[in-house]
Amino acid sequence: MLRTNSGRVGLALLMSLALVPPPASAKGTKAAKDARVYFISPSDGETVTGPLICRFGLRNMGVTHAGDDFAGSGHHHLLVDVDETMQAGEPIPRDKKHIHYAAGETEARIELPPGKHTLQLVLGDTRHLNFDPPLVSEKIMITVGKPNGSEEARATRGTGERRKVLERASAPEPLQLQPTVTPEMTKSPESSDFISRVLTGSK
Ligand SMILES: [Cu+2]
């Protein structure tokens, strides 16, 4: 039987690990009064194509890197298409939809698939936990359009063919590396001699 004392000790240890000491307060590190997290860019409702530059704003608190528990500071997290509400003192998940800027970044370049996306910022404490109360920005909605040069973008715009014709018309003629010999020029032996002299540079 494995139901021994050591098993019970192990269980007790597991239970105590689950009850890891709470952060500064029962619900997490206290957020500074009047602290505010917000997007400098993009703005709500904006349509972008290609990579998106997000700029993170923070008022009445400071930005530092994770692991630095200087009072009144934290680091940014970008939530992409996240619906759940952040809870005080709870860890901020770490996955594709919860991006940590643990080096104290205040700007990020992100690439999202075409379509509508929600973005929200969350400031986390030194241990990636939510502050108490959670410091979240307004949730904004952006639309990522298809890049201008892509075939899909042309097709969806319905002007693909016209655009191609215009591109062809404005494209420079390919460079002629060999002189063109017209039928007239090859009529007489003299003229073809002349052409070959020109081509070879002989007199
Ligand atoms: Cu974090």
Q: In this predicted model, what pLDDT tens digit does every residue of 140-192 receive, in sequence order?
A: 999 999 877 666 555 555 444 444 444 444 444 444 444 444 444 444 445 44
Percentage of the residues of the chain whose pLDDT score is greater than 70: 60
Q: Could you tell me which residue, 197 or 67, shows the higher pLDDT?
A: 67
Rounded distance from Cα 28 to ligand 1 centre (Å): 14
Rounded distance from Cα 23 to ligand 1 centre (Å): 15
Pairing of the two strands 62-63 and 115-124:
unpaired
Domains of the chain (ranges plus CATH)? 23-145 (2.60.40.10)
Q: What are phi and psi of 194, to 5 degrees?
A: -60, -45
Rounded distance from Cα 16 to ligand 1 centre (Å): 24
Rounded distance from Cα 203 to ligand 1 centre (Å): 79
Q: How far is CA 201 from CA 40, 101, 190, 194, 195, in A?
A: 67, 67, 16, 10, 10
Rounded distance from Cα 199 to ligand 1 centre (Å): 70
- Model pTM score: 0.63
Rounded distance from Cα 13 to ligand 1 centre (Å): 27
Rounded distance from Cα 65 to ligand 1 centre (Å): 9
Rounded distance from Cα 59 to ligand 1 centre (Å): 18
Q: Which amino acid is located at 122 in the chain?
A: V
Rounded distance from Cα 124 to ligand 1 centre (Å): 6
Average model confidence (pLDDT) across the chain: 77
